Amino acid sequence: MTTVEKKSEGRVPAPRPEGEDGGPLLEVRDLHVEFHTRDGVAKAVNGVSYSVGAGETLAVLGESGSGKSVTAQAIMGILDMPPGRIPRGEVLFRGRDMLKMSAEERRRIRGRKIAMIFQDALSSLNPVLSVGYQLGEMFRVHEGLSRKEARAKAIELMDRVRIPAAKERVGDYPHQFSGGMRQRIMIAMALALEPDLIIADEPTTALDVTVQAQVMDLLAELQREFNMGLILITHDLGVVADVADKIAVMYAGRIVETAPVRELYGSPAHPYTRGLLDSIPRLDRKGQELYAIKGLPPNLLKVPTGCPFNPRCPQAQDICRTDIPVLHDVAPGRGSACHFWKETIGD
Amino acid sequence: MRNLVKHFPLTQGVLFKRQIGAVKAVDGVSFDLYQGETLGIVGESGCGKSTVAKLLMTLETATAGEVFYKGEDITRLSGRALKAVRRNIQMVFQDPYTSLNPRMTVGDIIGEPFDIHPEVAPKGDRRRRVQELLDVVGLNPEYINRYPHQFSGGQRQRIGIARGLALNPEIIICDEPVSALDVSVQAQVVNLMEKLQDEFDLSYVFIAHDLSIVRHISDRVGVMYLGRFVEIGTDEQIYDHPTHPYTQALLSAVPVPDPEARDGRERIILAGDVPSPANPPSGCRFRTRCWKAQARCAEEVPLLAVPTRFAASASPAAHESACHFAEEKDVVHA
């Protein structure tokens, strides 16, 4: 029962057909999303670019309202439009822009090639249908299997995500499962068609820590097994440090810093990242007073001019209030959207 | 404030009667809380930590057991005496969105305790008092006529804290006060709570599932599992020298925000889920998920006491732990 676990370093992705140009599995380029509301236009995503390869884990870190979930919804094509709108940007899956595809084409990718896991398993599952039916539905709709075959597949999937007594429980309803078990069912559903990429939006936020550890472990193991790409959307700096290969930190709809996991924690190059890291209490030592980033995340209807972080930034200068910083190259694979990244990283 | 040290020994055996049986939400819990101290209570959902809070607030009637406040058993009080005690024990709730009435102004919300306890602030003085409280929690006193929806989550939690402070209580029970807040705002509220504690010599019972925050704010920490304390001690004893296997598993499961630690740290992954509190396992309640469990664990309930093997030693491992096979193990540091 006790598993002593050491994560393997630098998983080598097995050779596998990549995009037509041999590029990453999924690449988001200069994506913009806005919402038209009664009070004005809320720019939820402002030129976000990131990419994830097969077998790679990208963590998208941000607080509520940072645009991390909206980006994921735009990738999946499950954004409510209207009020949402995508004025600019590309979402390349294996080199093909999904935003230009027909609804029919996208549907074929969604679920089969890219699957999503949501935070709240209870509200994402249909309460009046049995778990087995909902899992089996994937196979009936996408692969045209019979009810009986689909049921057998559902049991197999439940076994794979280690739900005990899958055979007896396949007819149970979502409310009969615990939170952790329901999240396993969500993972099973996402895995059903063996996708190339999984987008997990706060998959363990609603779970207790011991269950969170079980679920994250399962996810990492299945990712290795199938060499899937994983986009993990979270606000939990602990979870990110545990599983991510690289990180994109979002603030007010922009990526403010992007870096491999060790570099980001070791020497953050953006004051917001630094502030976040300093503001979390540590389990392994008793700290003094916590560093608190002053102020509040901005209202997306009136984002400050210049750098959106400038009213909260301890280093802000005049240029920060007028000019929006671009994502500067800090090192290979590292970027920081701060005018003073050199000073920040050097501190 | 005559007694410098206050004692609240507390023993409860609670059974919520239901037709189909009894859910033993809290089953024999004892602890002390001293003045100016923060006692952290951690545990997973369903372990009974929020029920403990409600019992302390006398919002829930204990099936058995006592809650002593300055030597007086408040579970037996009623009427005026109970009202007087309640003034001194206040609560801050988890969800800043549902715990404030959306139709009341901030001034009415914070001032409402004065309607019940008019002796604290005479009518003419209330507005000034409320503005003072807003200032104390770091909000603009001019916001007194605004409604909760005009505030962010962190600001709402400050309003909840101001309401908790209104009656100058001695004890504030905080049930997951920061878990609904963003990381950057969480630190602001935690710092505020620490500042207020120093300023008003408050005692906190800080209930949370986030072990890192609990370590940060607490002087002593109790770990709950299925309605019972399994281990209790100072923050150093619990986090750096845990002796109960459940505490060890819980601590090892917390991800540490340090990628350098991810290869070195040992991780205890527990199998299965928490059993139902309606039908808890015999003997030690953790035995169904414990890797050390033996026949004795099913037969004999382990008592919450300093394990005999550590009793004579001065080591930090010598603190109360309810395990037959208590053993020190550092799981936090790589």
Give me the half-sphere count of Cα atoms (radius 13 Å) on the Cβ side of residue A347: 13
* pLDDT of the residue at B10: 54
Q: At B101, which CATH number?
A: 3.40.50.300
* Residue B222: both structure tokens together: 């109790």
> What is the domain range of residue B253?
247-321
Do A225 and A176 fall within a single domain?
no
Do B64 and B26 fall within a single domain?
yes
What rounded mean pLDDT belongs to chain A? 84
Q: How many folded domains does chain A comprise?
A: 2
Do B38 and B187 fall within a single domain?
yes
CB burial readout A256-285, b (16+ within 10 A) else e: bbbbbbebbbebbbbbbbbbbbebbbbbbe
Neighbouring-strand partners of residue B205: B39, B173
Residue A242 near chain B (CB below 8 Å): yes
Q: Tell me if A241 and B262 make a contact (CB, 8 A cut-off).
A: yes
* pLDDT of the residue at A13: 42
Given A194, A218, A235, the domain boundary residue is A194
Q: Which residues of chain B have pLDDT under 50?
A: 1-9, 17-19
* pLDDT of the residue at A20: 41
Residues from chain A that touch B332, judged by Cβ atoms under 8 A, are 283-284
Q: How many angstroms separate the CA atoms of B313 and B325, rounded? A: 17
Q: How many angstroms separate the CA atoms of A11 and B71, rounded? A: 61
Confidence of residue A21 (pLDDT cuts 50, 70, 90): very low
Do A270 and A257 fall within a single domain?
yes
Do B177 and B268 fall within a single domain?
no
Q: Tell me if B44 and A210 make a contact (CB, 8 A cut-off).
A: yes
* pLDDT of the residue at B286: 92
> What is the domain range of residue A327?
52-77+102-113+196-334
- With respect to residue B205, please indicate whether it lies within any of the assigned structural domains: yes
Do A152 and A269 fall within a single domain?
no
Please provide the size of chain A in residues: 347
Q: Tell me if A262 and B259 make a contact (CB, 8 A cut-off).
A: yes
For the complex shown, is ipTM > 0.90? no
Residue A84 C-alpha, separation from nearest chain B C-alpha, in angstroms? 23
- With respect to residue A204, please indicate whether it lies within any of the assigned structural domains: yes
- Which residue from A238, A261, A292 is facing B255, i.e. has the nearest CB? A238
- With respect to residue A184, please indicate whether it lies within any of the assigned structural domains: yes
Do B208 and B312 fall within a single domain?
no
Do A155 and A172 fall within a single domain?
yes
Do A183 and A200 fall within a single domain?
no
Residues from chain A that touch B44, judged by Cβ atoms under 8 A, are 208-211
The average pLDDT across A211-215 equals 82
The average pLDDT across A32-55 equals 88
Do A260 and A299 fall within a single domain?
yes
Q: Are strands B38-42 and B220-225 parallel, antiparallel or unpaired?
A: parallel
Do B32 and B94 fall within a single domain?
yes
Q: How many folded domains does chain B comprise?
A: 2
Contacts across the A-B interface (CB distance below 8 Å)? 151
Do B92 and B209 fall within a single domain?
yes
* pLDDT of the residue at A22: 53
DSSP state of B134: H
- With respect to residue B333, please indicate whether it lies within any of the assigned structural domains: no
Residue A95 C-alpha, separation from nearest chain B C-alpha, in angstroms? 31
The average pLDDT across A19-34 equals 78
Confidence of residue A178 (pLDDT cuts 50, 70, 90): confident
pLDDT at A230 over 60: yes
H/E/C letters for each residue in B64-85? CEEEEECCEEHHHCCHHHHHHH
Q: Tell me if A283 and B256 make a contact (CB, 8 A cut-off).
A: yes
- With respect to residue B127, please indicate whether it lies within any of the assigned structural domains: yes
Do A233 and A283 fall within a single domain?
yes
- With respect to residue A83, please indicate whether it lies within any of the assigned structural domains: no
Do B93 and B161 fall within a single domain?
yes
Q: How many angstroms separate the CA atoms of A115 and B110, rounded? A: 47
- With respect to residue A20, please indicate whether it lies within any of the assigned structural domains: no
- With respect to residue B228, please indicate whether it lies within any of the assigned structural domains: no
Q: At A234, which CATH number?
A: 3.40.50.300
Report pLDDT digits (tens) over A94-153: 888 888 888 888 888 887 889 888 877 777 888 899 999 998 988 888 888 888 888 998
- With respect to residue B238, please indicate whether it lies within any of the assigned structural domains: no
* DSSP E strands, A154-272: 197-201, 229-234, 246-251, 254-260
Q: Which of B38, B143, B183 to mutate to test the interface with A (most CBs of A within 10 A)?
A: B183
DSSP structure string for B235-247 = HHHHHHS--SHHH
* pLDDT of the residue at B206: 92
- Which residue from A237, A241, A279 is facing B187, i.e. has the nearest CB? A279
Residue A39 near chain B (CB below 8 Å): no
* pLDDT of the residue at B16: 53
Q: Which amino acid is at B223?
A: V
- With respect to residue B72, please indicate whether it lies within any of the assigned structural domains: yes
Do B53 and B180 fall within a single domain?
yes
The structure's pTM equals 0.82
- With respect to residue A233, please indicate whether it lies within any of the assigned structural domains: yes
Do A159 and A201 fall within a single domain?
no
- With respect to residue A167, please indicate whether it lies within any of the assigned structural domains: yes
Do A236 and A318 fall within a single domain?
yes
Q: Tell me if A286 and B236 make a contact (CB, 8 A cut-off).
A: yes
- With respect to residue B97, please indicate whether it lies within any of the assigned structural domains: yes
Given A171, A194, A217, the domain boundary residue is A194
Do B274 and B132 fall within a single domain?
no
- With respect to residue A10, please indicate whether it lies within any of the assigned structural domains: no
> Which uninterrupted H or E stretch holds B206?
strand B203-208
Q: Tell me which residues of chain A, numbers 298 to 337, contact chain B at a CB-CB cutoff of 8 Å.
A: none
Report pLDDT digits (tens) over B210-241: 898 999 999 999 999 988 889 999 989 999 99
Given A194, A215, A248, the domain boundary residue is A194
Q: Are strands A229-234 and A57-61 parallel, antiparallel or unpaired?
A: parallel
Do B253 and B171 fall within a single domain?
no
Do A200 and A265 fall within a single domain?
yes
Do A247 and A286 fall within a single domain?
yes
Do A200 and A65 fall within a single domain?
yes
Q: Which of A9, A284, A288 to mutate to test the interface with B (most CBs of B within 10 A)?
A: A284
Do B85 and B183 fall within a single domain?
yes
Q: Which amino acid is at B60?
A: E
Query: Crossing angle, helix A131-143 and helix A179-191, to 10 degrees?
Result: 10
Residue A124 near chain B (CB below 8 Å): no
Cα-Cα end-to-end distance for chain A: 44
Do B252 and B317 fall within a single domain?
yes
pLDDT at A6 over 70: no
- With respect to residue A12, please indicate whether it lies within any of the assigned structural domains: no
* pLDDT of the residue at A164: 81
Q: Provide, rounded to the nearest whole percent, the portion of chain A with pLDDT above 90.
A: 21
* pLDDT of the residue at A247: 94
Residue A160 C-alpha, separation from nearest chain B C-alpha, in angstroms? 15
Report pLDDT digits (tens) over A191-202: 888 889 999 988
* pLDDT of the residue at A250: 94
* pLDDT of the residue at A17: 44
Helix (H, G, I), strand (E, B) or coil at A46: strand
